[in-house]
């Protein structure tokens, strides 16, 4: 069992840190709003610390799961950030979805760093069934991987620093295409007067099948979106994708278009709704 | 067992008519180029006829699987077309992917008509594992459905005349989105220097999963496209979709964009390649 720190107790981090405690690790938590850290300790034991630096003192692995690049820079390299307080051989694992650029920047500052964004959403974090896409060196990965198993369904080392973030970006690009196709298809079906549920039952057995069709089509038809992965988060991720694509000289016309459509959905009041609310761009 | 006619022995119709013969039906075939009809009779028995009208004489069910709206109009309503020769209570079943408009036109001319486009491709036709999306009245459907089981995995009555075609259109819209997302995602992955196969292995277990990802991603990475459903056929289908959407006042921005990209792939020499060759729009 390891002595670990966990920075960021949001909807993902809170249950992930809980799985580490349940697996027998000695966990010190830090959260920007302290009452949540106190609630976590009351539920799981362990300790809370007033700063990322103090949480990281003496830890073998420091995990972070915060909001964005700025938050991540603050809790690592900022005043009271964890990097200055970590022992030379301690490992840093970032579970935030951020730019590949900051992942490389942190790995340059501390080579024993891993970028390790997750997919599987809040339900995956709570059930300990996340997919973790990791960038970094193989030795660091081998040391951290058994600990991450506390909340993982699948952990893959994808390449050097930044590769975890890039893999997560591929995931989001593919989802953008699937959901947009599904939104247009269901919109067309409903406007054409078809029974959209019956259409899904038939076409989901063939080449049009997708996880999104199996799990989101019928709620899209019913206009139910108050669950799942929020449009605001998807737009944050698509901004990272499009920035990276611009840097790499890669054009992604569908991804750019879907990002704009999600902007329309935000205007329609869908900021906290599941990504399947993309169909609202067409149906209101 | 029924006495049936089958008009159109292309890559789909030839094996479909064969399944009817194997199921014990008495089959008369017609094909525009006669030697193929003769080859079919040599293989399966039955008879061939020199015109659609002569093939249809005395048949309880007349099937068609031809190329497009014009071909279909020719073999039904044209000179030597089957409609004039069919007995009053005979059923017409069209397996061609055509416009909903012509499906309604044929049903107006002969109420015991079904529009019944299929999905599953050449392999599905050969293995008798097609999905059949049917429009028409319930009585006609009930009479024809047991015969279509000779080559079906699933047969669904989707609504009144034209509903089979509209359902097939929904299928193609959804596929356009999935394949475009996959093309952009894999293009991005390769440009970013990731091992695209390893990326697919990880992300295909979650919310980005699709039939296309499971069955086409790795061949897309290898640039293999000489199989499957051809770009020319997909463009024909997307033209039907976009015409119908224009008529219905529905905008389908992704579908319109992907149709344009398939036009680029045609220019690159991909006319006979699988729809997954859409990635060539980005990688050449």
B171·A253 Cβ contact <8 A: no
Question: Which residues of A are tagged catalytic?
Answer: 168
Q: Which of A166, A177, A209 is the closest to B181 by Cβ?
A: A177
A193·B159 Cβ contact <8 A: yes
Residue partners of B162: CB distance under 8 A and separation at least 6: B100, B101, B103, B104, B107, B115, B135
Nearest in space to A178 (alpha carbons), one of A217, A205, A206: A217
B205·A131 Cβ contact <8 A: yes
B188·A212 Cβ contact <8 A: no
* CA A50 centroid distance within chain: 25
pLDDT of residue A2: 95
Percent of chain B with pLDDT over 90: 99
Instruction: Give the minimum alpha-carbon distance from A95 to chain B in angstroms, rounded to a whole number.
Output: 16
DSSP codes, B158-201: EESTTHHHHHHHHHHHHHHHHHHHHHHHHHHHHHTT--HHHHHH
pLDDT of residue A200: 98
B156·A245 Cβ contact <8 A: no
**pLDDT 10s digits, A87-119:** 999 999 999 999 999 999 999 999 999 999 999
Is the confidence at residue B170, as pLDDT, over 90?
yes
A119·B203 Cβ contact <8 A: yes
**pLDDT 10s digits, B104-158:** 999 999 999 999 999 999 999 999 999 999 999 999 999 999 999 999 999 999 9
Q: Give yes or no for a contact between A128 and A147, defined as CB atoms under 8 angstroms apart.
A: no
Helix axes A253-267, A231-248, angle to 10 degrees: 150
Mutate to test the interface with A, among B141, B155, B192, B282 (most CBs of A within 10 A): B192
Average pLDDT over residues A66-95: 97
pLDDT of residue B132: 97
pLDDT of residue A69: 98
Instruction: Give the minimum alpha-carbon distance from B132 to chain A in angstroms, rounded to a whole number.
Output: 8
Q: Give yes or no for a contact between B169 and B244, defined as CB atoms under 8 angstroms apart.
A: yes
What range does the domain containing B225 cover? 167-283
In angstroms, the CA B244 to CA B233 distance is 17
CA–CA distances in Å: residue A94 to residues A162, A168, B156: 11, 13, 49
Q: Name chain B contacts of A257, Cβ cutoff 8 Å.
A: 253-254, 257
A188·B175 Cβ contact <8 A: no
pLDDT of residue B168: 98
- Please give the radius of gyration of chain A, using alpha carbons only, rounded to the nearest integer: 20
Percent of chain A with pLDDT over 90: 99
Identify whether residues A61 and A140 lie together within a single domain.
Answer: yes
Q: Which of A133, A181, A198 is the closest to B177 by Cβ?
A: A181
Instruction: Give the minimum alpha-carbon distance from B28 to chain A in angstroms, rounded to a whole number.
Output: 30
Identify whether residues B110 and B192 lie together within a single domain.
Answer: no
In angstroms, the CA A184 to CA A281 distance is 10
Q: Which of A178, A201, A252 is the closest to B178 by Cβ?
A: A178
Q: How many interface pairs between A and B have CB atoms less than 8 angstroms apart? A: 236
CA–CA distances in Å: residue A214 to residues A209, A220, A272, B201, B204: 7, 11, 22, 20, 14
Q: Which of residues A119, A139, A160 is at a domain's end?
A: A160
DSSP 3-state assignment of B29?
strand
Identify whether residues A105 and A199 lie together within a single domain.
Answer: no
Instruction: Give the minimum alpha-carbon distance from A104 to chain B in angstroms, rounded to a whole number.
Output: 14
Q: Which of residues A99, A134, A160 is at a domain's end?
A: A160
Percent of chain A with pLDDT over 70: 100
Q: Give yes or no for a contact between A7 and A75, defined as CB atoms under 8 angstroms apart.
A: yes
CA–CA distances in Å: residue A132 to residues A29, A151, A157, A211: 21, 9, 9, 18
Catalytic residue among B36, B153, B168, B205: B168
Identify whether residues B85 and B174 lie together within a single domain.
Answer: no
Average pLDDT over residues B41-48: 98
Report the residue of chain A nearest B229, measured CA to CA: A207
B194·A158 Cβ contact <8 A: yes
Q: Name chain B contacts of A215, Cβ cutoff 8 Å.
A: 207
Structure tokens at B26: 């008495």
DSSP codes, B83-131: GGGS-TT-EEEE-S---HHHHHHHHHH-SSEEE--EESHHHHHHHT-EE
Report the residue of chain B nearest A208, measured CA to CA: B175
Q: Which of B156, B180, B245 is the closest to A177 by Cβ?
A: B180
Q: Give yes or no for a contact between B110 and B136, defined as CB atoms under 8 angstroms apart.
A: no
Identify whether residues A99 and A233 lie together within a single domain.
Answer: no
Q: Name chain A contacts of B207, Cβ cutoff 8 Å.
A: 119-121, 171, 175, 211-212, 215, 229
- The CATH number linked to B262 is 1.10.1040.10
Instruction: Give the minimum alpha-carbon distance from A71 to chain B in angstroms, rounded to a whole number.
Output: 25
Identify whether residues B122 and B214 lie together within a single domain.
Answer: no
Phi and psi at B66, nearest 5°, equal -115, -150
Q: Which of A186, A205, A212 is the closest to B207 by Cβ?
A: A212
How many separate domains does chain B show?
2
pLDDT of residue B120: 93
- Average per-residue pLDDT in chain B? 97
Identify whether residues B87 and B208 lie together within a single domain.
Answer: no
Instruction: Give the minimum alpha-carbon distance from A255 to chain B in angstroms, rounded to a whole number.
Output: 8
In angstroms, the CA A283 to CA B173 distance is 17
Is the confidence at residue A284, as pLDDT, over 90?
no
Phi and psi at A118, nearest 5°, equal -120, 160
B202·A257 Cβ contact <8 A: no
- Average per-residue pLDDT in chain A? 97
Give the model's confidence band at B9: pLDDT under 50 very low, under 70 low, under 90 confident, else very high: very high
B158·A203 Cβ contact <8 A: no
Q: Name chain A contacts of B178, Cβ cutoff 8 Å.
A: 177-178, 181, 208, 210
In angstroms, the CA A239 to CA A145 distance is 29
Identify whether residues B182 and B228 lie together within a single domain.
Answer: yes
Structure tokens at B244: 């119908």
Report the residue of chain B nearest A258, measured CA to CA: B254
In angstroms, the CA A272 to CA A249 distance is 32
Identify whether residues A217 and A110 lie together within a single domain.
Answer: no
| DSSP code for B150 | G
Q: Name chain B contacts of A100, Cβ cutoff 8 Å.
A: 192
Q: Which of residues B160, B180, B214 is at a domain's end?
A: B160
Identify whether residues B79 and B215 lie together within a single domain.
Answer: no
Q: Name chain A contacts of B249, Cβ cutoff 8 Å.
A: 191
Phi and psi at A165, nearest 5°, equal -65, -40
B194·A250 Cβ contact <8 A: no
Q: Give yes or no for a contact between A68 and A126, defined as CB atoms under 8 angstroms apart.
A: no
- The CATH number linked to A10 is 3.40.50.720
Identify whether residues A13 and A148 lie together within a single domain.
Answer: yes
DSSP 3-state assignment of A64?
strand
Give the model's confidence band at B57: pLDDT under 50 very low, under 70 low, under 90 confident, else very high: very high
Identify whether residues A172 and A48 lie together within a single domain.
Answer: no
Report the residue of chain B nearest A210, measured CA to CA: B210
Q: Give yes or no for a contact between A6 and A63, defined as CB atoms under 8 angstroms apart.
A: yes
pLDDT of residue B93: 98
| DSSP code for B227 | S
Whether the CA torsion A253, A256, A259, A261 is positive or negative: it is negative
Give the model's confidence band at B284: pLDDT under 50 very low, under 70 low, under 90 confident, else very high: confident
Phi and psi at A208, nearest 5°, equal -90, -5
Question: Full-prediction pTM beyond 0.90?
Answer: yes
Q: Give yes or no for a contact between A66 and A60, defined as CB atoms under 8 angstroms apart.
A: no
- Please give the radius of gyration of chain B, using alpha carbons only, rounded to the nearest integer: 20
Nearest in space to A93 (alpha carbons), one of A25, A188, A175, A39: A25
A207·B211 Cβ contact <8 A: yes
């Amino acid at each position: 069992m390891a002595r670990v720190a966990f920075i960021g107790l949001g909807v993902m981090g809170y249950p992930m840190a809980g799985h580490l405690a349940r697996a027998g690790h000695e966990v010190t938590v830090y959260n920007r709003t302290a009452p949540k850290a106190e609630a976590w300790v009351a539920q799981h034991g362990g300790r809370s610390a007033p700063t990322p630096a103090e949480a990281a003192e003496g830890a073998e692995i420091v995990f972070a799961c915060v909001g964005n690049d700025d938050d991540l820079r603050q809790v690592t390299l900022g005043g009271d950030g964890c990097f200055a307080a970590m022992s030379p051989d301690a490992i840093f694992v970032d579970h935030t979805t951020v730019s590949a650029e900051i992942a490389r920047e942190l790995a340059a500052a501390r080579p024993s760093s891993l970028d390790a964004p997750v997919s599987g959403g809040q339900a995956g974090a709570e059930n300990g069934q996340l997919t973790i896409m990791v960038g970094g060196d193989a030795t660091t990965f081998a040391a951290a991987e058994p600990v991450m198993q506390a909340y993982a369904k699948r952990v893959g080392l994808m390449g050097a620093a930044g590769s975890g973030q890039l893999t997560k970006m591929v995931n989001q690009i593919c989802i953008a295409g699937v959901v947009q196709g599904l939104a247009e298809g269901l919109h067309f079906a409903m406007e054409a007067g078809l029974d959209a549920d019956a259409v899904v039952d038939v076409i989901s057995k063939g080449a049009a099948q997708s996880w999104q069709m199996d799990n989101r089509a019928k709620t899209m038809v019913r206009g139910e979106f108050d669950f799942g992965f929020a449009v605001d988060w998807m737009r944050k991720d698509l901004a990272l994708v499009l920035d990276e694509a611009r840097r790499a000289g890669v054009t992604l016309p569908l991804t750019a278009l879907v990002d704009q459509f999600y902007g329309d959905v935000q205007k329609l009041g869908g900021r906290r709704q599941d990504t399947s609310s993309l169909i609202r761009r067409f149906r209101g």
